[in-house]
Amino acid sequence: MADETTATAATAPSAGRERERYSPQEIEPKWQARWQESGLYRTDLALSDGKPKFYNLMEFPYPSAEGLHVGHTFTFGGADTNGRFQRMRGNTVFEPMGFDAFGIHSENYALKQNINPMQLTARTTRRYRYEQLGRIGAMFDWDHTVDTSQPGYYKWTQWIFLQLFKAGLAIRKEAPVNWCPSCLTVLANEQVIDGHCERCGTAVVQRELTQWFFSITKYADRLLDNLQRLDWPDESKTRQANWIGRSEGAELVFAVAEAGDNAERGTRSAELISPEGADAGTTADANSPFRVPRSALSAIPVFTTRPDTVFGATYVVLAPEHKLVPQITTAERRAEVEAYVEGARAATEIERTDAGREKTGAFTGAYAINPATGARVPIWVADYVLVQYGTGAIMAVPGHDERDYAFARKFDLPIVEVVASEAGIAEVAYTGPGPLKNSGRFDGLSSDAAKGAITAWLAERGTGEPRVTYRLRDWLISRQRYWGPPIPIIHCPEHGSVPVPEADLPVLLPEVENFRPTGTSKSPLASVESFVKTTCPVCGGPAERETDVSDVFLDSAWYFLRYSSTEWDDRPFDQGRIRDWLPVDMYFGGKEHVIMHHLYARFITMVLHDLGHLPFEEPFKKLRLHGFVTKDGAKMSKSRGNVVNPDDYIGRVGSDAFRAYLLFMGPFDQDNDFSDKNLVGVTRFLDRVWRLAVDPAPTPGTGVEMRPLHRYVKRVTDELERYQFHTAIAALMEYSNWIGANREVFTAAQRAEAVRTLTLLLAPITPFLAEELWERQGGGYSVHQQAWPTFDPAQIAEETVTLVVQINGKMRDRIEAPAGLDEADARELAGASAKVAPLIDGKTPKKIIYVPGKLLNIVV
């Protein structure tokens, strides 16, 4: 038996001296150095010992002004606990860490400090890596790290862009961007607070710029369908599904009425349709497969999920940006419509999309033909119709759509009831299902059945077809900024957008004097002549480089692939490594990334799979979300002044105690409010553990029933498997209390086994303390390479059980009974109970429920 006799002279308490106390300030730096020097966390990526691999991933941070945040300590602590647990269970665990160093946060910090982000990032990552991340005691493999702002990394980010470009998935189109007229710069959505610039408070306006997009919408269905087979939290799957927002319906065509159709309206004349309208016979959405009848002067395709209500479509509404607006507007209406469109353009997206706002709009003077009824219906422009969604135009059915109802009421447009309901439509729109009316041959048909029937009928006549639309929009990749990977495209006057040859990658981000926004709605790179001026890879003629950089989310959409292969410069990731190590086994992520980061990583993986670069299409087998650490119920932020600095606490109580405390606060997947009030509970616990392991053993006793040990091992194991770190720690506390209570009763061997098991069970949660105690017990280096304790299932079973006796479902007595008693035994025991007997005396039980070994419920 390994007793404290094996401890070194230095650690043995000498007579008369105070006993040695737990001092994290001494043991933590000691083991941090030892771990590094022995390469304990260097992963054998070749898997040469044949153990199963486990890729334990957590979201990498962006280096910022404040340094490491308690939130990081919390999430990395939990994720690392899982990594260490998996390692002790016999896996080769790969747990890398890196830096999401490009992007707006780092750039903003650099602007504030007035230091070029290139130098600043180098400085902050060094601090992060060596000072802060090192101290939290995670088993990061620093031999495989990434920094997304390094040319060796972003070379491959650019390579990925080129793969998408070649596959036709990177396209250029016009899109509105947020523009701050005071800062003279493009703003990200997150820099726009309530329609105003985050920095100067100026109202933000929309500007149209030609930008690069990734066609993520082409993958919408697969991104949606694959969700079913992912081991991800329902919360995140549901939110992604809602974000993708698949909706099934129909695209119906409303032809713009010919001049002749308006004969009875004296106010109209032939000039109502501008001459260029004649060759504008395309749909608003260039991607639409739908063909517009040539016979129509012009036609408006609309998307609807309610084709069954088309007989009630009494007007058509175009989004203000809809391309047909200028073409169809009549001369006498032009001024009003132009003013309305102008006003809508000036308004911010936030203002325009305030759902509670009163409806506004303008009549174009033009009319369209309802394809079902053949009736002439007026065409309006209104900003409640969004140009990006569907076809940018709707058929308005005021009887059965709330928004259309409000609009029709305000502008006095006709409302027709086409779905019968009890409530009718006198007061509000009826949006539910029901039998059709006022719908010609479809009267009486249920709205559900009518959806298909009417779409089919219109399809036969060439004015409609089934259509699926998504809420998801294409991924805007362009950023008019400095701090990101230049988009590897060259614009040639002859050959258009030409990809930079892969051999010429990376397109280096030049180190510039002025990395500030330029005020020209272009990236600062546009003013670097040596960067911009180049030659066309196709013809060799003079050409210009693309000056936008790519979105920071592209950097993080593939970093988990790169970790596996950082030793290769000539490939983004090595196929052997990919085969051995991916997909990621476990990904710990934040709720704030459920939509963007997680979706983009899935998309890029799927595309790389389709292009033959990856053998799988989903990057993360298992995902678990962690909550935020809040302070006084609010998110921590510098402006609130409620940021908790982990360094202060680590200095005071040690990394182990701080990490264990954060995990003990509450469930890992929920938000937890930080308050150091409870910290003392955890430090006391670790002190107690220390004393149990290090203090001289009391005189051995006569021995104790060791069954509880097996139950504690099982409990801790079960809780860690569920990522319930707080209840795992609670079980460890109970276990150490049990050891303490039996100190004098254990035999020497029992005591050693109990302490040894405690040390092993603590290793994933308090790695420094466990390592120190392990050494003092004479265990070999390192505790983190030991096998996880097992338990004997036979020892888990209780010999006696507490039988709960209920009368009518109410608990009346508890009786100690031998395990394995049957119903007859239980009834007999219950009948003999002084508490139960009077309650059933003389009554005949109506029903008896017996849960073996647990509970007897007598219904009288």
What residues numbered 276-315 form the site for RNA, per CB under 7 A?
303-306
Among 152, 681, 698, 820, binds RNA (CB under 7 A): 681
* Residue 208: both structure tokens together: 């149209």
What DSSP letter does each residue of 768-781 carry, written as one string? Answer: HHHHHHHHHTTPPS
Among 319, 379, 415, 436, binds RNA (CB under 7 A): 319
Among 53, 89, 199, 239, binds RNA (CB under 7 A): 239
Q: Is 461 helix (H, G, I), strand (E, B) or coil?
A: coil
Among 740, 818, 820, 831, binds RNA (CB under 7 A): 740
CA-to-CA distance for 578 and 580, rounded, in angstroms?
5
Q: Is 682 in the site for RNA (CB under 7 A)?
A: yes
Q: Which stretch binds RNA (CB under 7 A): 88-96, 506-514, 522-530, 731-739?
A: 731-739
Q: Is 460 in the site for RNA (CB under 7 A)?
A: no
Minimum distance of RNA from residue 658's CB (angstroms): 14
Among 11, 202, 670, 785, binds RNA (CB under 7 A): 670
Among 78, 103, 390, 583, binds RNA (CB under 7 A): 390
**Residues 821-850 interacting with RNA (rule: CB under 7 A):** 835, 847, 849
Q: Which is nearer to RNA, 206 or 305 (CB)?
A: 305
Q: Is 727 in the site for RNA (CB under 7 A)?
A: yes
Among 29, 67, 195, 245, binds RNA (CB under 7 A): 245
Minimum distance of RNA from residue 195's CB (angstroms): 12
Q: Is 323 in the site for RNA (CB under 7 A)?
A: no
Minimum distance of RNA from residue 645's CB (angstroms): 16
Minimum distance of RNA from residue 679's CB (angstroms): 8
Among 802, 818, 820, 843, binds RNA (CB under 7 A): 802
Minimum distance of RNA from residue 281's CB (angstroms): 21
CA-to-CA distance for 245 and 84, rounded, in angstroms?
39
Q: Which is nearer to RNA, 531 or 588 (CB)?
A: 588
Is there a contact between 385 and 318 (Cβ–Cβ < 8 Å)? Answer: yes
Among 282, 421, 747, 806, binds RNA (CB under 7 A): 806
List Cβ<8 Å contacts ≥24 apart for 822-826. Answer: 822/852, 823/848, 823/850, 823/852, 823/856, 826/850, 826/856
Q: Which is nearer to RNA, 119 or 388 (CB)?
A: 388
Minimum distance of RNA from residue 64's CB (angstroms): 18
First to last CA, the chain: 59
| Strand partners of residue 395 | 316
CA-to-CA distance for 440 and 640, rounded, in angstroms?
63
Q: Is 677 in the site for RNA (CB under 7 A)?
A: yes
Minimum distance of RNA from residue 855's CB (angstroms): 5
Minimum distance of RNA from residue 136's CB (angstroms): 21
Residue 248, class by beta-carbon neighbours within 10 Å (0-12 exposed, 13-18 middle, 19+ buried)?
Answer: exposed
Minimum distance of RNA from residue 727's CB (angstroms): 5
92 Rama sector, left if φ>0, alpha if ψ -120 to 50, beta otherwise: beta
Is there a contact between 511 and 120 (Cβ–Cβ < 8 Å)? Answer: no
Q: Which is nearer to RNA, 217 or 298 (CB)?
A: 217
Q: Is 193 in the site for RNA (CB under 7 A)?
A: no
Among 120, 394, 557, 752, binds RNA (CB under 7 A): 394
Binding residues for RNA, total number by CB under 7 A: 80
Q: Which stretch binds RNA (CB under 7 A): 224-232, 283-291, 727-735, 781-789?
A: 727-735
Q: Which is nearer to RNA, 507 or 732 (CB)?
A: 732
Q: Is the peptide bond before 233 cis (omega within 30 degrees of 0)?
A: no
Is there a contact between 419 and 308 (Cβ–Cβ < 8 Å)? Answer: yes
What DSSP letter does each residue of 502-527 carry, written as one string? Answer: GGG---PPPP-S--S--SSSS-GGGG
Q: Which is nearer to RNA, 138 or 803 (CB)?
A: 803
Q: Which stretch binds RNA (CB under 7 A): 292-300, 671-679, 747-755, 762-770?
A: 671-679
C-alpha 552: how far from chain center: 15
CA-to-CA distance for 64 and 637, rounded, in angstroms?
13
Q: Which is nearer to RNA, 495 or 652 (CB)?
A: 652
Q: Is 538 in the site for RNA (CB under 7 A)?
A: no
838 CB contacts (<8 Å, ≥6 apart)? none
Q: Which is nearer to RNA, 237 or 621 (CB)?
A: 237
Among 354, 511, 705, 822, binds RNA (CB under 7 A): 354
Among 56, 672, 766, 782, binds RNA (CB under 7 A): 672
Minimum distance of RNA from residue 174's CB (angstroms): 17
Q: Is 50 helix (H, G, I), strand (E, B) or coil?
A: coil
Q: Is 476 in the site for RNA (CB under 7 A)?
A: no
Is there a contact between 812 and 806 (Cβ–Cβ < 8 Å)? Answer: yes
Q: Which is nearer to RNA, 54 or 213 (CB)?
A: 213
Phi, psi of 417 (to 5 degrees): -90, 120
* Residue 86: both structure tokens together: 């998996």
Q: Which stretch binds RNA (CB under 7 A): 3-11, 31-39, 666-674, 785-793?
A: 666-674
Instruction: Please work out, in degrees rounded to the nearest 5, the angle formed at the alpha carbon of residue 659 by the alpha carbons of 657 and 662.
Output: 105
Q: Is 854 in the site for RNA (CB under 7 A)?
A: yes
Q: Is 666 in the site for RNA (CB under 7 A)?
A: yes
Q: Which is nearer to RNA, 189 or 520 (CB)?
A: 189
Minimum distance of RNA from residue 393's CB (angstroms): 7
Among 392, 464, 517, 654, binds RNA (CB under 7 A): 392
Q: Which residue, among 104, 92, 94, 85, has the nearest Cα to 58 in the 3D structure?
A: 94
Give, as one character, the DSSP assignment of residue 565: G
CA-to-CA distance for 36 and 42, rounded, in angstroms?
9
Among 25, 684, 781, 800, binds RNA (CB under 7 A): 684
Is there a contact between 252 and 462 (Cβ–Cβ < 8 Å)? Answer: no
Residue 76, class by beta-carbon neighbours within 10 Å (0-12 exposed, 13-18 middle, 19+ buried)?
Answer: buried
Which parts of 360-471 fold into alpha helices (H)? 402-411, 447-460
Helix and strand counts by DSSP (H, E) for the chain: 28, 30
Q: Is 348 in the site for RNA (CB under 7 A)?
A: no
Q: Is 793 in the site for RNA (CB under 7 A)?
A: no
Among 809, 816, 824, 844, binds RNA (CB under 7 A): 809
* Residue 648: both structure tokens together: 């202060």
Among 65, 420, 697, 855, binds RNA (CB under 7 A): 855
Minimum distance of RNA from residue 232's CB (angstroms): 12
* Residue 566: both structure tokens together: 């950082």
Q: Is 30 in the site for RNA (CB under 7 A)?
A: no
Q: Is 737 in the site for RNA (CB under 7 A)?
A: yes
Q: Which is nearer to RNA, 44 or 248 (CB)?
A: 248
Four-point Cα dihedral 748, 753, 755, 758, nearest 10: -160
Q: Which is nearer to RNA, 372 or 487 (CB)?
A: 372
Q: Is 428 in the site for RNA (CB under 7 A)?
A: no
**Residues 102-141 interacting with RNA (rule: CB under 7 A):** none
Minimum distance of RNA from residue 813's CB (angstroms): 9
The per-residue b/e assignment along 24-57, b for 16 or more CB within 10 angstroms, e otherwise, is beebbeebbeebeeeeebebebeeeeeeebbbbb
3-state helix, strand, coil in the chain (%, to 5): 40, 20, 40
Q: Which is nearer to RNA, 145 or 724 (CB)?
A: 724
Q: Is 724 in the site for RNA (CB under 7 A)?
A: yes
